[in-house]
Structure 1
Amino acid sequence: MTLRTAGGRAGALTAIGLAALLLAGCGAADRSSGSADSAAAPPAKVAGGAPQAGEAAPGQAGAGAPDLRVDQRAIVYTGTMRVQVDDVEGAARRAVATVTAAGGFVGGDQRRSVDAAAQAELELRVPAARFTAIVDELAGYGRQQRREVRTQDVTEETVDLDARITTQRARVDSARKLLARATSVSELVSLESEVARREADLASLEAKKRRLADLTALSTITVTFVGRDASTADEEEDRTGFMVGLRGGWKVFLASMSVLLTVLGALLPWLLVFGVPVVVLVAVLRRRRRRPAPPVGPVGGGHPPTPTGPPPVPATRSAP
């Protein structure tokens, strides 16, 4: 009886030990899988949506700057260049054809066809993606004398305009809802004025947005084609001396004489119409003034003129 009882107790203890070992193994497996899942999963955010320590906010880099790529930014390109070519007219026609084929257009065209100094100045609007390629192609038409490319980043201004337009549209909608619920004439007039003012502000913001979109979509290239006889502006600036001064003074003298002759030619018809009669009239008046006065003759048929002097004093006789 005693042996059986002891054996039963030993079997029960053995079963309990085996069960404890199995439970310990399952718990370890669960802990290992849980740690692996937590390592693979991103760290959770604290209440209120704020990231935990060491976690970067969405849309931010390590230093907190916006993560915008270059191709996502709004950049306005503006270029100015001067190219010396053999045929100015041919180069201008070729440039216009190139820009038109690329999807742009000509914003301005000024040409001066002079044999000694032919010149054509074109303002070309080209797509921003083709800006650099077209600038290089225009420079290949001849000898490039000057090139200047400027860029302006308007990304922040564009984002600000988008936010302001969204807010202004919401204000216009709310004002229209209030206008629909107006009950008196004074309230109706006041709300109509407010709706008109908000719509005008919205139209102004949308116009600015369209202007920025046009500048970023189409870049501006101002190219000047000059002939072989034209000198560069840099060479003219570098030259100094007596001959340079004499040549500049002679050019100024010729320009002044040209202006003087132009003014004289404009005044000549007026001088012929009004000046000649005035000169003739003045000459006649002067000739009349120079004529001598006629002599004054006796008046009344030969009577002697009345003396105008004092009467003669009679002579007095002396006493004997």
Structure 2
Amino acid sequence: MSEDGAGMGVRMARHRGVAAVAVGLAALLLAGCGAGGESTDTANSRAEAPAGGAPAGAAGEQDQAGAGAPDLRVEQRSIIYTGTMRVQVDDVEGAARRAVAAVTTVGGFVGGDNRRSVAADAEAELVLRVPAAKFTAFVDELATYGRQQRREVRTEDVTEQTVDLDARIATQRARVDSARKLLARATSVSELVSLEGEVAKREADLASLEAKKRKLSDLTALSTITVTFVGRDASTAEEETETGFMVGLRGGWKVFLVSMSVLLTVLGAVLPWLLTFGVPLGVLMVVLRRRRRRPAPPTPPTTPFGGGHPPAPTAPPPVPATRSAP
């Protein structure tokens, strides 16, 4: 072999040794990365495991159970809003029509409408059902119709009642299903009758719970506001607390008018009875009194001898004259 061939063989051997070393180093690096990844995953799984040493499957079941729990945050709570307010306006009928149109626009409806159209003291009382999400804005809008005199808003948190009803409804549905299955497998008449009664009872209880849930859902979905529109002549709370001569005079005049109206009402109710029974009775009493007051005719006196003429009057005996002393 020549020197050139020997040098080439040495160089090839060197290249093969370097390649083998490179391949070994790569294999060592890959093995280290795999071990590190396994140790990291093991550490993470141990960290995620519960303190009691429960397996990963139990932890997953706990997460699923927690996901099914009700969300009791403020925005997820069930709250019933009810309110009353009194607004003084220039046109009572116009304000009432405007409120009805506004509640229809926001997706609500009118639950009650009581109006009194009197020239001096007009009044309209409306019971409006409004979606709960728009309740506050709607009440503020009603206050802009005139001068707000009174506002009262009450809230009731029924979240716990809602959750309890949901749980009871789910349990009752399961009881109804089990009773129906037993009814389908009944073999005797007595067993059939007994199971039918049990199914009917459980279905009635379920219907009652569902009715309560529907009512509660309606109250939470639609809030209630009772607004009273009054005219400018209506008395306010501040005026009722005033004192003085003019206040007393106005109050006395109102009481007098009310008393007269009551008196005329009573008189109108009694007048037909007076005309029917009172007039004939009064005429009869007058006739009886006149008969009692008429004098009786004189009767002629009778004599002891039966004569028709009375005896002549006798003259009184003469009185003797008396002498005066000398």
- Same fold (TM > 0.5): yes
Q: What SS class does the counterpart of residue 117 from structure 1 fall into?
A: coil
Counterpart in the other structure of 2:234: 230
C-alpha displacement of 1:177: 3.0
Indicate the structure with greater helix content.
2
Q: 2:132–2:222: 8 Å Cα contact kept in structure 1?
A: yes
Paired with 2:263 and 2:94, the residues of 1 have a C-alpha distance of 36
Counterpart in the other structure of 2:282: 279
Written as runs of structure 1 = structure 2, the 5 A alignment for 1:18-167 is: 32-38=36-42, 40-41=44-45, 42-45=47-50, 46=52, 59=66, 68-167=72-171
120 and 252 in structure 1: CA distance in 2 versus 1, 3 angstrom threshold: same
Paired with 1:26 and 1:166, the residues of 2 have a C-alpha distance of 55
- Larger mean CA deviation between 281-290 and 157-166 belongs to 281-290
Q: 2:70–2:163: 8 Å Cα contact kept in structure 1?
A: no
C-alpha displacement of 1:31: 6.7
C-alpha displacement of 1:220: 1.1
Instruction: Extract unaligned runs of 5+ from structure 2.
Output: 1-27, 308-326
Q: What do the CA deviations read for 1:259-304 (whole angstroms, capped 9, x no partner)?
A: 2221111111111111111222222233334444556689xxxx94
Letter in 1 for 2:80: V
TM-score, scaled to structure 1: 0.71
Say yes or no: does 1:190 pair with 2:184: no
Paired with 2:30 and 2:200, the residues of 1 have a C-alpha distance of 73
Paired with 1:113 and 1:49, the residues of 2 have a C-alpha distance of 76
Match of 1:207 among 204, 211, 215: 211
Q: What do the CA deviations read for 1:115-140 (whole angstroms, capped 9, x no partner)?
A: 32222211111111221221122222
Match of 2:264 among 255, 261, 265: 261
Q: Could you say what the CA RMSD is over the residues aligned between the two structures, in angstroms?
A: 3.8
Match of 1:174 among 141, 156, 178: 178
Q: 2:106–2:134: 8 Å Cα contact kept in structure 1?
A: yes
Q: 1:59–1:67: 8 Å Cα contact kept in structure 2?
A: no
Number of residue pairs matched by the alignment:
276
Q: Identity rate of aligned residues, in percent?
A: 76
Instruction: Extract unaligned runs of 5+ from structure 1.
Output: 1-23, 306-320
292 and 195 in structure 1: CA distance in 2 versus 1, 3 angstrom threshold: farther
Paired with 1:260 and 1:194, the residues of 2 have a C-alpha distance of 64
Letter in 2 for 1:278: L
185 and 297 in structure 1: CA distance in 2 versus 1, 3 angstrom threshold: farther
TM-score, scaled to structure 2: 0.70
Paired with 2:289 and 2:186, the residues of 1 have a C-alpha distance of 89
Q: 1:102–1:127: 8 Å Cα contact kept in structure 2?
A: yes
Paired with 1:88 and 1:277, the residues of 2 have a C-alpha distance of 51
177 and 242 in structure 1: CA distance in 2 versus 1, 3 angstrom threshold: farther
